[in-house]
Amino acid sequence: MATTRSDRAFVDKFPHEAAIVKATFLVAFVALGIGAFFGLIQALHRTNVLRVIESADYYTMLTGHGVLLAIVFTIFFLCGVFHWAVARSLNRPAESRLFSWAWVGLMTTGTVLTTVAILGGLVPNLGMSADVLFTFYAPLQAHPLFYIGLAMFIVGTWLAGADWFLSYRAWRANNSGERIPLQTFMVLTTMIMWYVSTIGVAVSVVFFLIPWSLGLIESVNPLLTRTLFWYFGHPIVYFWLMPAYLMWYTVLPKLAGGRLFSDPLARVVFLLFLLLSTPVGIHHQYLDPGIAEGFKFIAMTNTMFLLLPSLLTAFTVVASMEHGARQRGGKGYVRWLGALPWRDPAFTGMALAGAMFAAGGFSGMINAGMNINYLIHNTLWVPGHFHLTVGTAVALTMMAGSYWLVPQVTGTKLYSRPIGLLQVIMWFVGMVFMSNAMHRAGLAGIPRRTAEPQYQNFEFLTPIGSIFELRVQIALGGTLLFLSVVLFLFNILLTSLGDESDRPVDAALPEPLSGPEGSPRILDNLAMWTGIAALLVILAYTLPLAGIIQNGGGLFGGGLPVPATLSAGLDFVVVTVSSAFNTLLGVIA
């Protein structure tokens, strides 16, 4: 029987959901283009290859680069992928089109407000600035519009999650005994993690930073806002990664010509990220004197457990790829790699992104260790690591995945596979140059977050090569990355404007080799896992936050943070609980 397009194309089966996905992708790709341009300016300015802005404006570029790429691009793309995944895996449209467009509109409005506040720093006469970098905690202060836009953006993501939970609830009403479809399971566990982790940044922005920027309160506790940010700042890394993982687990095996190795292992991985990602944010604060060393040691220990889901993912994804290669005729222990579809830009981009993520994991282990972290914390090593994880594992997977997803929501064929293949390889090569140089520069002590990394009467030394060579690598890598983005946007634009095709892409996803029936049903008990995740967060953060409030001048500052101890935080909690208990007894009496 002939296959009609309605049997294959997502846009024909779910036209309204496809429109939502296209809208989120549009905002994501605009942010990608602007953020990549800012990144090119930074790379050329820092290396002194080409300076087209004043050094004071470098920090505006740096803030825009971080916010537009690490928040707007990644999360808008995530929302598009998740909306597609829920509709596809549940085989039903969203419960309310109006509600779906509401969260898209709210997120977009918040993005516009935040971007205007950032770009206002380039126009001195506006009296508007938001040069607070991606890590927007105090004592740096932005224009109120920046924080208000961020608050709207976060609330928009909450509504997006509610949209997907409503779809799941409606599906569950008609499928009471069924296991949660894998893609929907991935979306729901990721959003639970997001709800838990964004509590910190929401409290910081709404109760401290917005009133402070409006002049309603005189001061804030800088260490408290910093800790609340990193309470959110580490799990957001996994929030970025989860759509990449979703595509690695469910799309990449299909592109390889095989099937997912294990559905149960995939569920376990997402649950581990739900449980372990939020309680470890303090490992970003090893150099903060207001947090007791004991809490930092606990955070370091907990962080090491996050290696487990990453290693499980490496095993499962590689096993799935090997199965696909052998289905295509691959032989031998290693020669099967040659049977994989390396001419497919979607497959090649995702595979290269996974390889880069492995390298990023090794440098991340250095970041996670307290004593070693002291050596590289404020150096270019950290951006080098960051560009391997979110800059490649996430961004390259999203771009490569677009070559398979965009035709599904537009009904048109990919404009050019050769251009797509060139683009993903160019990104990989550019990142090898730039990230390698950043890591080596960090070992030489070259600082990050500065437009002028040179000091008078001081010369940085490298064991191998020279500082000049590192600068050339960073400039070359940044240029290749920008050109790669240009190729990507060109290819996607012409794909979207192309003629409709009877079969734009084979959208069918095969069943896993090991299905959900082989795993305990308790894995689908989302309420239980949510409770455990909340308990772990309470255990990890109650005492540190108590110590910060006690030693840092209260909720709104007023004093300088002093070195804290475990006993100080415990004493504060005991006194607070005792006072509350005595007050309650007095009321009862």
pLDDT for residue 45: 94
DSSP string of 33-44? HHHHHHHHHHHH
Q: Are 249 and 266 in contact, with CB atoms under 8 Å apart?
A: yes
Check whether 503 has a pLDDT greater than 70: yes
Indicate the pLDDT class of residue 564, thresholds 50, 70 and 90.
very low
**Position 572 pLDDT exceeds 50:** no
Q: What is the CATH number of the domain that holds 92?
A: 1.20.210.10
Give strand pairing partners of 447.
379
Q: What is the mean pLDDT of residues 273-290?
A: 89
> Positive or negative CA dihedral for 519, 520, 521, 523?
negative
Chain segment 107-123, per-residue pLDDT in tens: 999 999 999 999 999 98
The tokens for 489 are 């946007």
The yes-or-no verdict on residue 128 having pLDDT over 80 is yes
Structure confidence by residue, pLDDT tens digits, 213-237: 999 998 899 999 999 999 998 889 8
Nearest to 554 by CA among 285, 272, 243, 222: 222
Residue type at position 296: K
- Confidence check: pLDDT of 562 > 60: no
Q: With 50 as the cut, is the pLDDT of residue 414 above it?
A: yes
pLDDT band at 8 (very low <50, low <70, confident <90, very high): low
Neighbours of 22 (CB within 10 A): 15
CB atoms within 10 A of CB 584: 10
- Higher pLDDT: 45 or 559? It is 45
Q: Is residue 128 part of a domain?
A: yes
Cis peptide leading into 279, omega within 30 of 0? no
What is the predicted pLDDT for the residue at 341? Answer: 94
Average pLDDT over residues 502-521: 85
Amino acid identity for residue 256 in this structure? A
Percent of the chain exceeding pLDDT 90 equals 67
In angstroms, rounded to a whole number, what is the distance separating the alpha carbons of residues 578 and 315?
A: 50
Mean pLDDT of 122-147: 90
Q: Which pLDDT band, with edges at 50, 70 and 90, does 2 fall under? A: very low
In which domain, by residue range, is 96 found? Answer: 19-230
Q: Is the pLDDT of residue 169 over 60?
A: yes
2: buried, middle or exposed (CB in 10 Å: 19+, 13-18, 0-12)?
exposed
In this structure, how many other beta carbons lie within 10 angstroms of the beta carbon of residue 226? 23
> Whole-angstrom Cα distance, residue 245 to residue 237?
12
Return the pLDDT at 571.
52
Q: Is residue 360 in some structural domain?
A: no
- Cross-strand partners of 379: 447
The model's pTM is: 0.92
Mean pLDDT of 432-453: 91
Helix axes 417-443, 467-496, angle to 10 degrees: 150
User: Is residue 333 in a domain?
Assistant: no
Instruction: State how many domains the chain has.
Output: 1
Cα–Cα nearest to 28, from 419, 492, 416, 408: 492
Backbone angles phi, psi at 281, to 5 degrees: -60, -25
pLDDT at 322: 93
| Selection from 66, 41, 64 nearest residue 116 by Cα | 64
What residues pair up with 412 in beta bridges, in sequence order?
500
The pLDDT of residue 3 is 45
Q: Are 205 and 151 in contact (CB under 8 A)?
A: yes
Which single residue is written with the structure tokens 């962080």?
303
Distance CA(573)–CA(52), nearest Å, equals 53
Give the pLDDT confidence score for residue 32 in this predicted structure: 97
| Predicted local distance difference test score (pLDDT) of residue 582 | 52
5 pLDDT above the threshold of 70: no
pLDDT of amino acid 502? 75
Residue 289 to residue 261: CA distance in whole angstroms: 46
Percent above pLDDT 70 for the chain: 93
Question: Would 451 be classed as within a structural domain?
Answer: no
**Omega before 139 within 30 of 0, i.e. cis:** yes
Region 319-332: what's the mean pLDDT?
A: 92
Kindly report the average pLDDT of the chain as a whole number: 89
- Highest-pLDDT range among 126-130, 162-166, 385-389, 508-512: 162-166
* Residue, of 560 and 511, whose pLDDT is higher: 511
- Contact present, 14 and 94 (Cβ < 8 Å): no
Cα gap 409→553, rounded to integer Å: 53
Mean pLDDT of 492-512: 86
**Mean pLDDT throughout 447-470?**
85
| Tokens of residue 10, six digits | 């997502």
Residue 457 has pLDDT above 60, yes or no: yes
Provide the pLDDT for residue 584. Answer: 45
In a domain, 125, yes or no: yes
What is the residue whose two structure tokens read 């069924």? 178
> What is the pLDDT averaged over residues 23-35?
97
Residue 1: predicted pLDDT:
39
Q: What share of the chain is helix, strand, coil (3-state, %, to 5)?
A: 75, 0, 25
Decide if 58 is inside a domain.
Answer: yes
**Distance (Å, whole) CA 285 – CA 135:** 12
Q: Enumerate the active-site residues.
A: 234, 238, 385-387, 448-449
For residue 176, being part of any structural domain is answered with yes
pLDDT value for 459 = 83
CA distance 273 to 264: 15
Domain assignment present for residue 210? The answer is: yes
Q: What is the mean pLDDT of residues 279-303?
A: 88
